[in-house]
Chain A
Amino acid sequence: MGESKNARVLIIDDEVQIRKMLKVALTAHGYEITEAETGQEGLNQGALFHPDLVILDIGLPDLDGFEVINRLREWSQVPIIILSVQDQETDKIKALDAGADDYVTKPFSMGELLARMRVALRHIAKTEDEPVLIFGGLTIDLAHRQVMVNDQEVKLTPTEYDILKQLALHAGRVLTHRQLLRTIWGIDYQDESHYLRVYIGQLRRKLEPDPTRPKYIITEPGVGYRLMT
Chain B
Amino acid sequence: MKQSIKERGKLTIFLGAAHGVGKTYAMLEAGHEKMKQGIDVVIACLESPEGLDEFLRAKKIPSIQNVNGKEYKELNIYGVIERKPHLVLVDNLSHLNEPGSCHRYRYQDVNELLEQGIDIFTTLNIQNVESLNDIVAKITEYRVIDKVPDKFIESADQIKLIDISSEELIQRIKDGAVHIPSFTKEETNKFFRPGNINALRELALRFTAQRVDRQLDEYMKSHEIEGPWPASEKILACVSPSPFSSQVIRTARRMATGLKAEWIVAYIETPLRFPNNKTDINQLTSNLRLAEELGAEVINLKSDDVANEIINLAHKKNITQIVVGKPLSNPLKNWWKGSIVDNIILGSKGVSVHIIPGQVIKEENSQKRPSSLKKEDYLKYLGTLLLIGAITIINMFLNPIFDLINIALLYLLPVLFSATYWGRGPSIFASLIGVLAFDVFFVPPVLSLTVDDLRYLLSFLIFLLVAIITSTMAIRLSNQVEIARQRETRTAALYALSRKIVAEDTLDKILNTVCRVVAETFAGEVFILMPDNNNEMVIKGATNAEIIFDEKEFAAARWVLAHGRIAGKSTDTFDNINNLYLPLKSEEEIVGILGVKFHTPEQSMSSEQSELLEAFANLTALAIVRMQLANEAEQARYLTQSERLRTALFNSISHELRTPLASIIGAVTSLLDEGELFSKKDKKSLLSTVNESAQRMNRLVGNLLDMARLESGMMKLKWEWCDLQEIIGVAIRRLQDFLQDRKLVIDLPNNLPLIKVDFTLLEQVLVNLLDNAIKYSPLESEIKISVTIETENIKINIIDKGPGIADDDRERVFDKFYRLYSPQHVTGTGLGLSICKGIIEAHGGSIWVESFDGNGSQFTFTLPLDESSPEIIFSSEEVGERDG
Which A residues fall within an 8 A CB radius of B?
86-87, 89, 107, 157-159, 192-195, 197-198, 200-201, 211-214, 218-219, 221-222
Q: Is the CB of A222 within 8 A of B726?
A: no
A192 CB → nearest B CB, Å: 8
Q: Is the CB of B754 within 8 A of A197?
A: yes
Whether B878 sits at the interface, judged by CB under 8 Å, is yes
Q: Is the CB of B725 within 8 A of A201?
A: yes
Whether B144 sits at the interface, judged by CB under 8 Å, is no
Q: Is the CB of B878 within 8 A of A212?
A: no
Q: Is the CB of B872 within 8 A of A159?
A: no
Q: Is the CB of B726 within 8 A of A219?
A: yes
Whether B195 sits at the interface, judged by CB under 8 Å, is no
Contact of A212 among B702, B729, B877, B881 (CB under 8 A): B729
Interface string of B149-189 (1 = CB under 8 A from A): 00000000000000000000000000000000000000000
B698 CB → nearest A CB, Å: 6
Chain A contacts of B722 at CB under 8 A? 197
Q: Which residue of B lies closest to A225 (CB)?
A: B726
A223 CB → nearest B CB, Å: 10
Closest 3 CB pairs of A and B: A194-B721, A197-B723, A157-B881
Bound Cα distance from A107 to B722, whole angstroms:
27
Q: Is the CB of A213 within 8 A of B733?
A: yes
Question: A-B contact count, CB below 8 Å?
Answer: 62
Q: Which residue of A lies closest to B882 (CB)?
A: A157
A145 CB → nearest B CB, Å: 13
Chain B contacts of A159 at CB under 8 A? 875, 878
Q: Which residue of B lies closest to A195 (CB)?
A: B872
Contact of B748 among A198, A212, A218, A219 (CB under 8 A): A212
Chain A contacts of B882 at CB under 8 A? 157
Q: Which residue of A lies closest to B722 (CB)?
A: A197
Chain A contacts of B763 at CB under 8 A? 221
Chain A contacts of B718 at CB under 8 A? 222
Whether B705 sits at the interface, judged by CB under 8 Å, is yes
Bound Cα distance from A159 to B877, whole angstroms:
9
Bound Cα distance from A157 to B876, whole angstroms:
11
Bound Cα distance from A195 to B730, whole angstroms:
19
Chain B 473-520 residues near chain A, CB threshold 8 A: none
Q: Is the CB of A158 within 8 A of B759?
A: no
Chain A contacts of B875 at CB under 8 A? 158-159
Contact of B730 among A89, A107, A193, A221 (CB under 8 A): A221
Chain A contacts of B396 at CB under 8 A? none
Chain A contacts of B877 at CB under 8 A? 157-158
Q: Is the CB of B732 within 8 A of A193?
A: no
Chain A contacts of B754 at CB under 8 A? 194, 197-198
Interface string of B726-741 (1 = CB under 8 A from A): 1011101100000000
Whether B794 sits at the interface, judged by CB under 8 Å, is no
A10 CB → nearest B CB, Å: 27
A158-B875, A158-B877, A219-B730 in contact; A193/B748 too (CB < 8 A)? no
Bound Cα distance from A181 to B881, whole angstroms:
21
Bound Cα distance from A195 to B723, whole angstroms:
11
Residue with the highest number of chain A CB atoms closer than 10 Å, among B726, B754, B763: B726
Interface string of B854-884 (1 = CB under 8 A from A): 0000000000000001101001011001100
What are 11 residue pairs bridging A and B, where the CB atoms are less than 8 Å apart in the complex? A157-B877, A194-B869, A195-B872, A197-B723, A198-B723, A200-B723, A201-B725, A213-B732, A219-B730, A221-B730, A222-B718
B596 CB → nearest A CB, Å: 54
Bound Cα distance from A211 to B748, whole angstroms:
11
Chain A contacts of B827 at CB under 8 A? none
Q: Is the CB of B694 within 8 A of A197?
A: no
Q: Is the CB of B728 within 8 A of A212?
A: yes
Whether B636 sits at the interface, judged by CB under 8 Å, is no
Q: Is the CB of B723 within 8 A of A201?
A: yes
Chain A contacts of B881 at CB under 8 A? 157-158
Whether B685 sits at the interface, judged by CB under 8 Å, is no
Q: Which residue of B lies closest to A192 (CB)?
A: B870
Q: Which residue of A lies closest to B702 (CB)?
A: A86
Bound Cα distance from A89 to B730, whole angstroms:
15
Whether B137 sits at the interface, judged by CB under 8 Å, is no
B368 CB → nearest A CB, Å: 80
Residue with the highest number of chain B CB atoms closer than 10 Å, among A86, A157, A195: A157
A194-B721, A211-B725 in contact; A222/B878 too (CB < 8 A)? no
Bound Cα distance from A90 to B729, whole angstroms:
22
Bound Cα distance from A158 to B748, whole angstroms:
27
Q: A87-B705, A87-B760 are in contact. List 9 more A-B contacts (CB 8 A).
A: A86-B702, A201-B723, A211-B725, A212-B729, A213-B732, A218-B733, A219-B730, A221-B760, A222-B760
Chain B contacts of A201 at CB under 8 A? 723, 725-726
Chain A contacts of B702 at CB under 8 A? 86
B463 CB → nearest A CB, Å: 102
Interface string of B753-767 (1 = CB under 8 A from A): 010000110010000
B752 CB → nearest A CB, Å: 8
Q: Which residue of A lies closest to B732 (CB)?
A: A213
Contact of A194 among B694, B872, B878 (CB under 8 A): B872
Chain A contacts of B720 at CB under 8 A? 193-194
A171 CB → nearest B CB, Å: 18
Whether B746 sits at the interface, judged by CB under 8 Å, is yes
Q: Which residue of B lies closest to A157 (CB)?
A: B881
Q: Which residue of A lies closest to B884 (CB)?
A: A155
Chain B contacts of A200 at CB under 8 A? 723, 726
B705 CB → nearest A CB, Å: 7
Chain A contacts of B730 at CB under 8 A? 219, 221
Q: Is the CB of A197 within 8 A of B721?
A: yes
Chain A contacts of B869 at CB under 8 A? 194
Q: Is the CB of B725 within 8 A of A212?
A: yes
Bound Cα distance from A200 to B705, whole angstroms:
31
Bound Cα distance from A157 to B729, whole angstroms:
24
Bound Cα distance from A169 to B878, whole angstroms:
22
Q: Is the CB of A213 within 8 A of B729?
A: yes
Q: Is the CB of B760 within 8 A of A212?
A: no
Chain A contacts of B694 at CB under 8 A? 107
Bound Cα distance from A89 to B872, whole angstroms:
26
Q: Which residue of B lies closest to A191 (CB)?
A: B720
B619 CB → nearest A CB, Å: 52
Interface string of B349-388 (1 = CB under 8 A from A): 0000000000000000000000000000000000000000
Q: Is the CB of A197 within 8 A of B729?
A: no
Bound Cα distance from A107 to B700, whole angstroms:
13
Bound Cα distance from A113 to B347, whole angstroms:
110
B374 CB → nearest A CB, Å: 81
Q: Is the CB of A212 within 8 A of B732?
A: yes
A128 CB → nearest B CB, Å: 26
Q: Is the CB of A219 within 8 A of B872?
A: no
Chain B contacts of A193 at CB under 8 A? 720-721
Q: Is the CB of A214 within 8 A of B729?
A: yes
Bound Cα distance from A200 to B754, whole angstroms:
12
A194-B872, A212-B746, A221-B760 in contact; A157/B726 too (CB < 8 A)? no
Q: Which residue of B lies closest to A89 (CB)?
A: B760
A87-B705, A194-B720, A221-B759 in contact; A158/B878 too (CB < 8 A)? yes
A86-B702, A219-B730 in contact; A198/B878 too (CB < 8 A)? no
